[in-house]
Amino acid sequence: MERISWDQYFMAQSHLLALRSTCTRLMVGATIVRDKRIIAGGYNGSISGGAHCIDDGCYVVEGHCIRTIHAEVNALLQCAKFGVPTENAEMYVTHFPCVHCTKAIIQSGIKKVYYASDYKNHPYSEELFNEAGVEVIQVELEEMILDRNNQEKLQFTAELLDKLGKAGHEKEELRKLHDRANQLYTSS
């Protein structure tokens, strides 16, 4: 069995962290890594002990929820709280960082940002990263590699579709089933 790549491993960690998010608008996770070791993680949510969006709704001002702390900042604050340096570290985040997170990432000394999904990518964030020499790389999570039975499921689906075809099902119906199977196995 082939091992998962480092990028996929750390991106999967960020997606796992995002599952702890208390934001109802967008679930985001961030993982800070140095020398192939996880040094911190964060997700977007309210301050410790505070009201959460999932309980009280978002507190939106000028189109932004001000109740939440973004995942990137939560991860950086975790490092600060426990005295873990971030100089020359890397960050894996589920979504492209906002302008405020971009500034915090740059100030923390992080040198590479890997993100899975584009999300309102602001040109100023891109400009700031470029000027600061922070490398930004899109690494989408290949969710199928996390499924240890993926190959068996693909084979089983192909066999079922083949049997349906041999049983005389209409080609148009088979095409729709095939397209739906492809959509299920490749959606992220």
Give the residue numbers marked as catalytic.
72
Q: Name 33's bridge partners.
A: 38, 90
In this structure, the number of other CB atoms found within 10 A of the CB of residue 32 comes to 27
CB 69 within 8 A of CB 52: no
As beta bridge partners, residue 42 has 30
**DSSP string of the chain, one letter each residue:** -PPPPHHHHHHHHHHHHHTT---SS---EEEEEETTEEEEEEE-BPPTTS--HHHH---EETTEESSPBPHHHHHHHHHHHHT---TT-EEEEEE---HHHHHHHHHHT--EEEEEE--S--HHHHHHHHHHT-EEEE----GGGG-TTHHHHHHHHHHHHHHHHHTT--HHHHHHHHHHHHHHHH--
